[in-house]
Amino acid sequence: MRRPKSQLNKFIRNTAIAFALFLLIAGIFSLYNTNSSQKPTDVSLDKLLEQINKEQVKSIQVIDNNLEITLKSGEKEKAQKEQESSLSETLKNYGVKSEKLTQIQISIKNTSASKIWGNILISILLPIIFILGLIYFMSRQMRGAAGKALKFGEATARMLRGKSKERETFKDVAGLKEAKEELIEVVDFLRNPGKYLRTGARIPRGVLLVGPPGTGKTLLAKAVANEANVPFLSMSGSEFMELFVGVGASRVRDLFNKAKKGAPSIIFIDEIDSIGGQRGMGITAHEEREQTLNQILAEMDGFTTDDRVIVMAATNRPDLLDLALLRPGRFDRTIILNLPDIKERRAILKIHCRNKPLDESVDFKELAERTPGFSGADLANMVNEAAILTARNGKKKVSQKEMLASIDKVLLGPERKSHVLSKKEKRIAAFHEAGHALVSHFLPHTDPIRKVSIVARGIAGGFTLKLPEEEKHMYSKAEFLDELAVLLAGYVTEKEIFGDITTGAANDLVRATKLARDLVTEYGMSELGPVVLGEKHKLKFLNLPGTEERNYSEETATKIDKEISKLINQAQEKSKEIIENCKNKLNRLGEVLIQKETIERKEFEKIVGGKKVKLGM
């Protein structure tokens, strides 16, 4: 597991200190045990007597019973004297004359006491000091670890107070008009509670923000924190969970206690579905998570509830939340945040472009039209990609060209310049995309073509961009059937022009089959009638993934398969008729795509003309 930077620095510092202490002690031992570079030679008293008589001895140092001898030649020697007598008496006993001794420098040094204390210091005191130091060092580490362990139960909430110029307010949140109106009431209650209490009103205890990723749930919570000018405690749902059992519930208690001490205050729990899931449901059942959820339920509507503490939470999976969490008295209000419409996208783009140097060519209206289905986060990413592309190209201002290029990058991914097609593959790709564009252009219930390209982006080898003139919230059967024909147009074109089919139509076929199945089983747009076949476990308005439970017989399943095949075959015939009637235009469009690789709307309409084609069906 990767260490945090602060812990890594502390570990390195402690290791360096321990290594320095080791070197210090080793140095002391080394100094104490250091011997002379020239090792003295052991000699007998007879040999010493002979050297004295020959006047070869310069000095003798007496250390207890040891004799350290230095010859006039510079050599070192050592010997032992008799224990019961002095050096002079010993030498006289060996026949050395007194005048010979006067020529030698004799010094006496008694080091028995110093040796004893030195040995005590080296062998006893230094190891004790080293062990005590090691114990102190380890105890400090243990105290730190124990302190952290005792703090496991404390909430790790981030506290925000008051307003700041760098932080977001409602003015920084474009669109989401209804959501902001709901939250303004919450802010107003925290500022002026008396106005509501006089009418007997009770402010919602909890507010749940629900919407697809990137629609501004966390951004709205930050705006509320700055608008309310009250303590704002923010935590993610996953931060409550820990290795030890009971930590989650303890952190919930600590979080609410902190909020009550600073009341009026706001608690914000991001991604609450990570701890607020339905209890006892299959693999999601977990004792620690359920204890944490139970504690939240008790704090939000229990005996110790504080009406001045408001809980806000955000999730993109409300279908997973426990029903007890959603009942009145806990999360009283559920605020839905949908994807922005064209007006809101235009306003969001202006906010994200405030600090960007823009060229005069930037047209926010066109950018908003080109980005249906984009969330606020997608638009922010798009603007940032445009700024990066501008810097990469050495320009000083962001132009419309970079903006449009960034849309394609966000939608489909970056250009795969290494994806080089052979001449044959390039021709197939060009006519494949030309078939999509041509069929879409001549069908009455399809969106206008904005761009056709055979430049590989992401996993797509090419693309045909169709965008509506205005926002759509409902789709008709005629529109779906025309869309089916458009999806199969590439497949039909390959078959008609080249007499063979490739894997380039694989994704088109997957999408066409899914759409045909939805027409039969979900929308009631087939001969089976207005019936929904298969129980859908998902929230359609949030465009969230889910599962389907089969609730029909084998006989009905056979009818569904026949209806799907029928719709696919009808769409294929419709595409085939347009391709055959407009083969000249298809050839011209395909050749232009081979040369230019990308065609915008004006050039496309100039090549294929108006929507005039006679169909036999």
Catalytic annotation, residues: 433
**Angle in degrees, CA 309, 313, 314, rounded to 5:** 160
Give the H or E element holding residue 511: helix 506-521
Q: Taking the mean position of all CA atoms in its chain, how far away is CA 273?
A: 18
Count of all residues that appear for the chain in the document = 617
Tokens of 174: 């474009």
Tokens of 3: 């260490």
DSSP state of 287: H
Give the H or E element holding residue 547: strand 547-549
The helix/strand/coil state of 528 is coil
CA nearest 155: which of 55, 213, 241? Answer: 241
Q: Give CA torsion, residues 341, 343, 345, 346, to 10 deg.
A: 160
Q: Do residues 339 and 212 make contact, with C-beta atoms less than 8 angstroms apart?
A: yes
DSSP state of 157: P
Give the H or E element holding residue 378: helix 376-392
Q: Give CA torsion, residues 552, 553, 558, 562, to 10 deg.
A: -30
Q: Do residues 223 and 168 make contact, with C-beta atoms less than 8 angstroms apart?
A: yes
Tokens of 448: 């206008």
The helix/strand/coil state of 30 is helix
Which residues on neighbouring strands pair with residue 234, listed in sequence order? 158, 268
**Cis peptide, bond prior to residue 264, ω within 30 of zero:** yes
One DSSP character per residue, 11-31 reads HHHHHHHHHHHHHHHHHHHHH
297 phi and psi, to 5 degrees? Answer: -60, -45
Tokens of 241: 């969970």
Which residues are CB-neighbours of 596 under 8 A, at least 6 positions away?
none
Tokens of 350: 């202006």
Which residues on neighbouring strands pair with residue 61, listed in sequence order? 68, 107
Q: Do residues 599 and 452 make contact, with C-beta atoms less than 8 angstroms apart?
A: yes
Instruction: Centre a 10 Å sphere on the Cβ of residue 33 and count the other Cβ atoms it contains.
Output: 8
In this structure, the strands spanning 232-236 and 265-270 are parallel
d(CA 460, CA 450): 17
Report, in angstroms and rounded to the nearest whole number, the Rg of the chain calculated over CA atoms. 44
The helix/strand/coil state of 61 is strand
What angle separates helix 601-608 from helix 583-596, to the nearest 10 degrees? 150
Give the H or E element holding residue 407: helix 400-412
d(CA 570, CA 617): 10
One DSSP character per residue, 425-460 reads HHHHHHHHHHHHHHHHHHSTTSPPEEEEE---BTTB
Indicate if the alpha-carbon torsion angle 35, 40, 42, 48 is positive or negative: negative
